[in-house]
């Protein structure tokens, strides 16, 4: 496992974290069938959510199975506030692995006591997270 800090891994152009590091950074993952079951939708619906940018999925684990961080969904579906943030980070030329690493990198300067961008979004600080994501694009 790399000795680099997660914040360093989330910078554009920085090495993408190894699969183990990314798995550890995120914590709980959901395979595509698990997302479908949680949301009560078909597998094709989940795949469409990924294709349309409502969700980001990356290949992790020993078998490199396509998975979604559990924090990206709730019982109603993908968190709506994430879609625009995904778009901004992709516009900054980040890969999906880098997008996930950026959203889960520890940052004690985020508002509301959040320690990661995804926690800040869940706490209602979407605008601040997007502002920071836009700075990445510059």
Could you report the per-residue pLDDT of 8-17, keeping only the tens digit for each? 444 444 444 5
Looking at residue 18, what is its pLDDT?
54
Could you report the per-residue pLDDT of 51-91, keeping only the tens digit for each? 999 999 999 888 889 999 999 999 899 999 999 999 999 99
Cα–Cα dist 111/23, whole Å: 25
- 65 three-class SS: strand
């Amino acid at each position: 496992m790399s000795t680099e800090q997660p914040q360093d891994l989330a910078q554009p152009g920085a090495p993408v974290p190894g699969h183990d590091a990314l798995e550890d950074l995120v914590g709980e993952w959901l395979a595509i069938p698990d997302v479908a079951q949680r949301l009560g939708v078909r597998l094709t619906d989940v795949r469409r959510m990924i294709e349309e940018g409502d969700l980001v999925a990356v290949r992790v684990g020993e078998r490199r199975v396509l998975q979604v961080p559990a924090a990206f969904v709730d019982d109603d579906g993908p968190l709506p506030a994430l879609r625009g943030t995904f778009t901004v980070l992709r516009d900054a030329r980040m890969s999906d692995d880098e997008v996930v690493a950026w959203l889960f990198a520890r940052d004690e300067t985020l508002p509301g006591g959040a320690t990661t961008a995804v926690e800040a979004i869940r706490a209602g600080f979407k605008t601040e997270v997007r502002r920071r994501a836009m700075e990445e694009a510059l």
